[in-house]
Amino acid sequence: MASDRTWSTGVFDCCSDWHSCCLTCWCPCVAFGRISEILDKGSSNCCVNGTLYTLLGIFHVSSPFRPFYSCCYRAKLREQYLSGENHCNDFWIHCFCHGCALCQEYRELQNRGFDMSAGWRGNPHMHNKAVSMAPVVEGEMKR
C-alpha cells in the first residue's frame, strides 16, 4: 500500500505491473479515461474523457494539447493524494515521458485501493464516507 503522501512507485517503474504497462502502452485512452473518472469522483465519464484525450493526441505533433490536458489530472491526483512537486513538473513529465507518467498515475490509484476497471461507481468503499444529512430548513414557509 502507498505511503500517505508520496508516490508508491517511480515514473520509470512501468514494468512493475505488466497489466497497467500494456494498457497504457496500447490503449492509453482507456487508461486516461479510467484515471480521470476516478479523480473527478464520477462527475466525468471514462469514455468521454478517453475520446477527448484521443482527439487531442491527433494534434500533439504540433502542440501541447494532450500533455496539458493529462498533466491537469496528474496535478489533481497529487493534490488529492500526494504532496510535493509542482504543476510545471507535471507538464514536462507528460511532454517527455507521457506513457510512463500515465502508467505511474494508473498504478498509484491501484495501489491506493481502486479497482481501475470498475470506475468510480464500482469503488464505493473509496468514496467519501461522510454522513448525508437532510438540509436544514431555516424558518417556516410563508405565503
pLDDT at 129 over 50: no
Residue 85 lies in a domain: yes
Q: Is residue 22 part of a domain?
A: yes
Residue 21 is assigned to a structural domain of this protein: yes
In the chain, how many domains are there? 1
Cβ pair 109, 140 in contact under 8 A: no
Contacts of residue 98, defined as CB under 8 A and 6 or more positions apart, other chains included, come to 28, 66, 67, 70
Whether residue 12 is contained in a domain is answered as no
User: Does residue 1 belong to any structural domain of this protein?
Assistant: no
pLDDT one-digit tens code per residue, 45-94: 999 999 999 888 887 666 678 888 888 999 999 889 887 667 678 888 88
Per-residue pLDDT, averaged over 32-39, amounts to: 96
pLDDT at 105: 95
11 domain residue, yes or no: no
Is pLDDT at 38 greater than 70 in this prediction?
A: yes
Cell 487531442 sits on residue = 56
CB 8 within 8 A of CB 108: yes
